[in-house]
Amino acid sequence: MWGGRFAEGPSAIMREINASIPFDKALWRQDITASKAHVAMLGAQGIVSAEDAATITTGLDRVAAEYEAHGVPENWDLEDIHMTTESRLAELIGPVAGRLHTARSRNDQVATDFRLWVREAMEQADAGLHALQVALVTRADEHADSIMPGFTHLQTAQPVTLGHHLMAYYEMAARDRSRFADARARMNQSPLGAAALAGTGFPIDRHATAAALGFDAPTRNSLDSVSDRDFALDYLMAAAQTALHLSRLAEEFIIWASQPFGFVRLPDSLSTGSSIMPQKKNPDAAELVRGHAGRIVGCLTSLMITMKGLPLAYSKDMQDDKPPVFEAAGLLTLCIAAMTGMVEATTFRTDRMRAAAELGYATATDLADWLVRQAGIPFREAHHITGSAVKLAESRGIALDQLPLADLQAIDARVDERVYAALSVEASVAARASYGGTAPEQVKARVAEARVALGLE
Ligand code: ARG
């Protein structure tokens, strides 16, 4: 492509280090689409003849059909997807192929192709997260009043409902989707026509190519257009945040599936056995979701470090933008699908959850709250009285509501028999009916709103 300037060809090492075709061939559809938009505009503007534009368009369709049928050939001498396509186009239609690159550079070409690819990845993440939300809401609806222990520090804290716990992840997924939506809106401008870095002297119509490619407008600064990759970083940041959420959900399933907890039976389809221990059923899919989160964060770090300190405009370092984005996108799609399947098909052992909620004095706060409300005791004092009651119950190995009234009254005379009604786990969750609280009626209200938001109603 630049033989005119050079006396010698590249060394084998130069060819190898320079070649991006092994990975950027993934951009072939976007490359063809953007080239077709470009050549249609060149024809409409009279920069190439209508006949040449038509020949090039037909040729591009033929190249696309070949890629579709046989894959993209990987020839390092052709460096990247842009040169590979142009070279094949020239073989098919002859020298007229050389007119396609008028008023364009690979710098704005790759920026355009990659934006189109990342935009689709954002849409795919959104669709995947929507499916995960549907699964969460469906299971939350089923379990709006199933009681389980709620934890802080992974120590039993207060009873909650399983539906409430699952809806927490629905909220995280909603914010993750909004991050992808924000990023998509921000990035949806076309860099095509920025050319190498300074724009072009040809009378191009950037608004036309922007519209043809589904962008809201052309970008406003040609240097920025070819040299920034913040749209890819926005994608990776949203992907990393999503992966962190998925990893936490995966961790819950891992803990819940362990024998001491026994809160869930994971679906066989998302578990593995052991080659030596016949009794084992391992939560490998969940563990890999937890593990992959680390890799996705690594992809974000990788591109951040690539971009750090690059002067304007394009530098070849930026060719390294693609592998981390491709890797993260593949992993993210898989992780979302795995967690969706797990939420859909896990058996929740609500009897075990309910029994665990009875342990660990989960309703101690309810006793303290009762002392405040019914006996007018300041909360700090009520906390102290309750602490003494827990200590006594613990020393006898019984639950709070198994303490005889006389013993409770010995700790504080203001206690009366009505307290027992407040100490059951059912009463505990029902009492937490503040907006966004764990009470079944609150969970059902949030589920109903979520079903509308998801388009299920
Ligand atoms: N393969 C290159 C990349 O992905 C295309 C842009 C090359 N531009 C250049 N001036 N060498 O970044």
Mean pLDDT of 393-398: 94
What is the predicted pLDDT for the residue at 1?
A: 67
C-alpha of residue 254 to centroid of ligand 1, in Å:
44
C-alpha of residue 319 to centroid of ligand 1, in Å:
6
Inter-axis angle of helices 81-93 and 28-44, nearest 10: 60
Inter-axis angle of helices 379-396 and 364-375, nearest 10: 140
Report the share of the chain in percent with pLDDT over 70.
99
- The per-residue DSSP string of 403-454 comes to S-HHHHHHH-TT--GGGGGGSSHHHHHHH--STT-S-HHHHHHHHHHHHHHT
- The per-residue DSSP string of 253-306 comes to HHHHHSTTT--EE--GGG-B--SS-TT--B-HHHHHHHHHHHHHHHHHHHHHHH
Mean pLDDT across the chain, nearest whole number? 96
CA of 453: how far to CAs of 106, 174, 365, 431, 456, in Å? 42, 10, 34, 27, 8
C-alpha of residue 105 to centroid of ligand 1, in Å:
9
Ligand 1 proximity of 25 Cβ (cutoff 6 Å): no
Banded pLDDT at 7 (limits 50, 70, 90) = confident
Ligand 1 proximity of 369 Cβ (cutoff 6 Å): no
What is the predicted pLDDT for the residue at 209?
A: 98
Mean pLDDT of 377-398: 95
d(CA 350, CA 151): 16
Q: Has residue 6 got a pLDDT over 90?
A: no
Decide if 153 is catalytic. Answer: yes
Catalytic residue of the set 11, 153, 275, 395: 153
Beta carbons within 10 angstroms of residue 218's beta carbon: 21
User: For residues 454 and 134, is the Cβ–Cβ distance under 8 A?
Assistant: yes
Q: Which residue has the tokens 């953007």?
A: 34
The atom of ligand 1 lying closest to the CA of 81 is 1
The partner residues of 286 in beta bridges, in order of sequence, read none
Taking only the tens place, the pLDDT of each residue in 208-264 is 999 999 999 999 999 999 999 999 999 999 999 999 999 999 999 999 999 999 999
Report the share of the chain in percent with pLDDT over 90.
92
Q: What would the two tokens of residue 417 be?
A: 């028999």
d(CA 322, CA 121): 13
Decide if 274 is catalytic. Answer: yes
Ligand 1 proximity of 80 Cβ (cutoff 6 Å): yes
The best mutation among 105, 110, 113, 306 to test binding of ligand 1, ranked by most ligand atoms within 8 Å of the C-beta, falls on 110
Residue 404, C-beta contacts closer than 8 angstroms, at least 6 positions apart? none
Ligand 1 proximity of 87 Cβ (cutoff 6 Å): no
Ligand 1 proximity of 358 Cβ (cutoff 6 Å): no
The best mutation among 17, 80, 225, 307 to test binding of ligand 1, ranked by most ligand atoms within 8 Å of the C-beta, falls on 80
What is the predicted pLDDT for the residue at 360?
A: 83
Write the residue with the smallest CA distance to atom 1 of ligand 1: 80
Write the residue with the smallest CA distance to atom 10 of ligand 1: 107
User: For residues 212 and 112, is the Cβ–Cβ distance under 8 A?
Assistant: no
Ligand 1 proximity of 318 Cβ (cutoff 6 Å): yes
d(CA 232, CA 214): 18
Banded pLDDT at 355 (limits 50, 70, 90) = very high
Banded pLDDT at 194 (limits 50, 70, 90) = very high
Write the residue with the smallest CA distance to atom 2 of ligand 1: 319
Banded pLDDT at 278 (limits 50, 70, 90) = confident
Taking only the tens place, the pLDDT of each residue in 120-175 is 999 999 999 999 999 999 999 999 999 999 999 999 999 999 999 999 999 999 99
Helix (H, G, I), strand (E, B) or coil at 159: strand
Taking only the tens place, the pLDDT of each residue in 296-321 is 999 999 999 999 999 999 999 999 99
Q: Has residue 10 got a pLDDT over 90?
A: no
Write the residue with the smallest CA distance to atom 12 of ligand 1: 319
Mean pLDDT of 355-379: 92
Ligand 1 proximity of 442 Cβ (cutoff 6 Å): no
Taking only the tens place, the pLDDT of each residue in 62-118 is 999 999 999 999 999 999 999 999 999 999 999 999 999 999 999 999 999 999 999
Ligand 1 proximity of 20 Cβ (cutoff 6 Å): yes
Helix (H, G, I), strand (E, B) or coil at 157: strand
Mean pLDDT of 257-284: 89
Mean pLDDT of 401-420: 94
Write the residue with the smallest CA distance to atom 11 of ligand 1: 316
d(CA 89, CA 99): 11
